[in-house]
Each structure stands twice: as C-alpha cells, then as structure tokens.
A and B are shown apart, each in its own frame.
Chain A
Amino acid sequence: MEMETPDDLLQPTLGHGGSRAASIYSAQTGYIVSFLGGPLAGATIALANAYRLKRLGRDWPLGLLAIAATVGPMWWWFRGGAQWVAAHAGSDSREVAFRALGLGFFALVYGWHRQYYRNMTFFGLTPPSGWIIGIAAVVASIAVDVGLAAVLS
C-alpha cells in the first residue's frame, strides 16, 4: 500500500526570510557572559539563541526567570540580607553569590538547550562570533544591576 508523506514535512523550514541561523551562540559564550554579567546577561544569550532557533515562543520564561533571579536576591540583599551574609559568610560573599547565580543560570540554560549544543558538537557546526553580543550583554546587565541597586537601596 502506498503511503502519503505528511504534508507538513514537505513545508519549507529554511525560507529565505525565516532562515535565521544554522547554528547558535556557543556554550562557551553563554558560560563567560553568565559568569561576568550574571543571569540577565546569560538570559540575553539564551534568548538570542531561542530567536535563532525560532523557539522564542517557548523559551521566553527564561527571561522572566533571569529577572526574578536578579531582582529577588537584590531585594533581599537590601532588606537585611547584606547583614545576615556579612555575619555568616564574610563581607566578600556578595561577589561569590553573584558569580554562583550567573553560573547556576548558565547551567539551567545549558540543560534547556542541551540538545542543540550536542547537535552542533556532533556535526562540527561553527557557532557565530559571540564577542559583540557578549560584551553588549555584560555591559547592559551590569548597568541594569547598578540601576536596580540604586532603586532598591
């Protein structure tokens, strides 16, 4: 018996206008940017990748999560958290916590997009250069952090 090919399989996926990318920013870019700029910077790379993968509709909660992971700890920090941390873990713990938060967020993003990163590794796909977006994400997220700190303090 002859079987028909499902029609949607025969619809183009890589249309000229919609062909955003054959690869995404590397995990290395995500790691460094998250380490230096925290969750907001990490989310910028993650959402840029989601856009390139045409799955922004599914991945947008990552942006909300990054905002929560930035505003929540900062709010707590200026509502007595700073004193608690200084008493229990030392005065430089804020920096450590910020880096840990950034890397934790990167771990989440990596898990979220793991299949795409593995796909790129297995097929030797070259990622786009992450310098411009990486620097922009770090600078912008630090500026937002400073602004937030001024508002919340």
Chain B
Amino acid sequence: MSGDSSGSRELAAIEHEARALVERRRYSQAQIALSRGLKDFPESIELQYLAAFIDYASERPEQAMQGVRTLLSQAPQHYGARTLHAHLLEGAKELPEAERVWIDLLREYPQRADCFAGYGELMLKTLNLEKARRLAEEGLRQSPDHAGCLYLAAMIDLIRNRSGAESQHLQRMLREHPEHARSALALVIALAAKGNDRGALRIAQELLRNQPDSQHLLTLVRNLKARTHWTMLPLYPMRRWGWTAAIAITLLAIVGLSVGERVLPAPVLDALTWIWLGYVIYSWVWPRLLRRYL
C-alpha cells in the first residue's frame, strides 16, 4: 500500500516536472524527464500525452501522431490528445478528419474557446473566411480575452482590411497577451501587410531565435529577407502596391512602346523593348531564386 502511494507520488512529481518544462518550452529537458518516467510508468496517460506534445512541438509529426493514436486507444476522451490529434490531422492535410475531431470536441465542450480557435483556424486555412469569423466571434463570446480567438479575429481583420493593421482585435491581443508568440506573429503579418517589411523581419527573426525548429517561422523569415534584399529595389512598386502596380506598369509599358513605335528611332525602341522584357522576366524569376538562395 505504501509502495503504491510512493509510486503515485513519484509519478505525480515526474508529471509536474515534465509539464513545467514543457510550459517553459524546454523540450530536451522535458524529454529526459519523460523517458525516465515512462520507463517506470509506461501506462501514464499524462506522460504519454506530454511525450506526443513534445514530438508535435519539435516538428516530428509522424512520431507525434503515433503517440496520440496509441494514447487515444487507451483514453479516447482525453481532451489534450484530441486537440493534438486535430492539429496533427490538419498538418497531415487530412482536413475533413481534422474538422470532424474539432466538431466532436465543440459538441462536448461548447464553452471551450480553444476549440473555437482551433476549428476557426482550420476554416481560415481552407479559405472559409465567413465561418472562421463566426467561430472567432463565438469563441470570444465564451472567453473575451482568449489568445487563440483574438489571434484568429485579428487575422480575419487583416485579411479583410485593405490598409492592414487597423485591427481592434490585434490591439487587444497585443495588450492582453504581449508575451504570446502569436501576438508577435500577428504583428509581423500586420507590419508586412502595411509595407513595413524591415520591422516585420526584425520581429520574425527574434521569434525564430526563440523557436529555431519552426519551419513556418523559417519560411516567414526567408520570405521577408527576400523582400527586403537590396536587389528587390527595382520591384518596389509591386512590393508596395501589389497587383495594382503590376497592371499600371504593364499598361504604361505597352502604351509607351506603342507610341514609341511612331516617334522613336528603331535602335532606341529596341533597347526600351528589351529593357521592359528584362524587367518583366526579372520580376517573375528573381524573387523565387532569391528565396531559394537565402
């Protein structure tokens, strides 16, 4: 009996330690604690969940999925394992299955704002903007300061708002959750949307320093680095005003060359035509090459 209770105390201590390390994102230390714990308590649901979560957070989705499936076969109602399962299915592009898990969770936990945030984000990633907006709204009704729902609502504001960063949700997110990585991520996107790529790059680099394993952040930094590279200066109008500038420049060039055919000497016209063609090719090809090179 006393052996059982000392075992329980030991398990509780290991779970507590591992959870604390995971919360501080010290995954390698947490992994050591978990390996030790799982050797003595292989049936512990909490330890299995934390191990799967670390695999997920460390971008090892296959191992994480395997861990979650094993865990769900033992504890099908485990809330954390189910949300993790939904995220993993989403990452594996099994989108209808991910949606089914979120819907089941929302039916059972209609007050959990993180389910609204998770499902809303899935809707946003599948271009179902209106449903994502309603889910964010509903989640914020349940929990007005929930970080995930505020992030979702801020992203929807940014997508809908032509001029970028005028988002009350973003301001609230930055005010209520300044320490949250997603606040910084939303700020990066808002700054980039407003054309402040250098400011966005500085914050994104800082985020990447804190999460060096994140493929998403790596891609974001690479894209922002490419956009702020000095060789992109000739493409500034397109970078700043997007397709409007591309249309204006194309029409200007076509009309200009058409008029030039009548008023300019042939060698000058040929040179201008080649310059324009070179610019067009440069604008299509160079940004892609630069992203690969960086």
Residue numbers of A with Cβ under 8 A of B are 2-6, 9-10, 12-16, 19, 21-24, 27-28, 31, 35, 53, 90, 92-93, 95-96, 99-100, 103-104, 106-107, 110, 114-116, 118-120, 122-125
A64–B103 CA distance with the chains assembled, in angstroms = 39
The interface-forming segment of B93-101, B173-181, B264-272 is B93-101
A35–B125 CA distance with the chains assembled, in angstroms = 29
On chain B, the residues within 8 Å of A53 by CB distance are 127
Partner of A115, one of B96, B106, B160: B160
On chain A, the residues within 8 Å of B160 by CB distance are 115
Do residues B258 and A93 form an inter-chain contact, with CB atoms below 8 A?
yes
> Which one of A5, A21, A27, A100 has the greatest number of beta carbons of chain B within 10 Å?
A5
On chain B, the residues within 8 Å of A122 by CB distance are 155, 158-159, 189, 193
Given A14-B95, A122-B159, 18 more pairs with CB closer than 8 A: A3-B111, A9-B131, A9-B134, A13-B128, A13-B131, A28-B284, A31-B243, A31-B247, A96-B254, A96-B255, A99-B250, A100-B251, A103-B247, A103-B251, A110-B243, A115-B160, A118-B158, A122-B193
A3-B142, A107-B247 known; A96 vs B258 contact (CB < 8 Å): yes
B262 interfacial contact with A, CB 8 Å: yes
Chain B: minimal CB distance from A53 (Å) = 6
Do residues B131 and A119 form an inter-chain contact, with CB atoms below 8 A?
no
On chain A, the residues within 8 Å of B158 by CB distance are 118, 122
A12-B100, A116-B129 known; A4 vs B110 contact (CB < 8 Å): yes
B73 interfacial contact with A, CB 8 Å: no
On chain B, the residues within 8 Å of A106 by CB distance are 243, 247
Do residues A13 and B99 form an inter-chain contact, with CB atoms below 8 A?
yes
A135–B110 CA distance with the chains assembled, in angstroms = 48
Do residues A3 and B141 form an inter-chain contact, with CB atoms below 8 A?
yes
SS class, residues of chain B in contact with chain A = helix
A120–B159 CA distance with the chains assembled, in angstroms = 9
A88–B128 CA distance with the chains assembled, in angstroms = 48
Jot down 17 A-B pairs with beta carbons below 8 A, ordered by A.
Answer: A2-B111, A5-B138, A6-B138, A9-B131, A22-B125, A90-B258, A93-B258, A96-B254, A99-B250, A99-B251, A104-B247, A107-B243, A115-B159, A122-B158, A122-B159, A123-B124, A124-B223
Q: Ordered nearest first, which 4 A-B pairs have the shortest CB separation? A: A5-B110, A22-B126, A14-B96, A118-B159
On chain A, the residues within 8 Å of B95 by CB distance are 14, 19, 22
B166 interfacial contact with A, CB 8 Å: no
Interface residues of B in 39-61 (CB under 8 A from A): none
Chain A: minimal CB distance from B136 (Å) = 11
